[in-house]
Amino acid sequence: MDNNTKKKIESEVKKNVDVEIANELSDFRSQLNVLQSSISNLQQGQQQSGQQNQQQPQGQQNQLSQQIQQFSGQTQQQLQQADQQLQQCIQQAIQTLNQASQYVQSNRALNQMNQAVRQAEQQLQQMTGGQQQSGQQMGNQQGQQQYGQMGQQNILQ
């Protein structure tokens, strides 16, 4: 395989990987935006509750604390899932690049084998052409010897 084909394959693989990573990152960003918005809302709620803290009963404070803890747990889970998805995407990209590399190596090996076969064919043609010329020369020499012997026999008679 020539370098142009190799570069085209690598370029196509990189494009596909970039698109997959971009999609995953886009999903991750949107999740992150939702989380940041929720955190901001919670912080505003905490500020308001801080101002009203003296007026709120203990039960409402406990409920708010539980909601914050739940939200924190959900945020952690979503971040872990996004991280796992990104790792999977990277692994897929590596596998794709490895497959492309194997394809390139296979093509190189096939090209080398084809070149060796061509060289062997050329050598064989050269050897066969040399044998034909040698056979023709031997045939000419034998013919000349026979002609010469016939001439000597004619002289002797």
Please give the pLDDT value at position 118.
95
* Whole-model pTM over 0.75: no
Cα gap 62→152, rounded to integer Å = 135
* Residue 39, in any domain of the structure: yes
Please give the pLDDT value at position 62.
81
Over the stretch 87-143, which tens digit does the pLDDT of each residue have? Answer: 888 888 888 888 888 988 999 999 999 999 999 999 999 988 756 655 566 556 665
* Residue 121, in any domain of the structure: yes
Range of the domain at 93: 3-44+75-156
* Residue 49, in any domain of the structure: no
CB count within 10 Å of CB 83 equals 11
Contacts of 53 (CB under 8 A, 6+ apart): 61
* Residue 69, in any domain of the structure: no
Q: How many domains does the chain have?
A: 1
Please give the pLDDT value at position 124.
92
Identify the weakest region by mean pLDDT among 13-17, 44-48, 90-94, 109-113: 44-48
CB count within 10 Å of CB 24 equals 17
Please give the pLDDT value at position 38.
78
The mean pLDDT value of the chain amounts to 77
Over the stretch 22-34, which tens digit does the pLDDT of each residue have? Answer: 777 777 777 777 7
Please give the pLDDT value at position 71.
85
Please give the pLDDT value at position 119.
95
* Residue 94, in any domain of the structure: yes
* Residue 52, in any domain of the structure: no
* Residue 130, in any domain of the structure: yes
Would you call 142 helix, strand, or coil by DSSP? helix
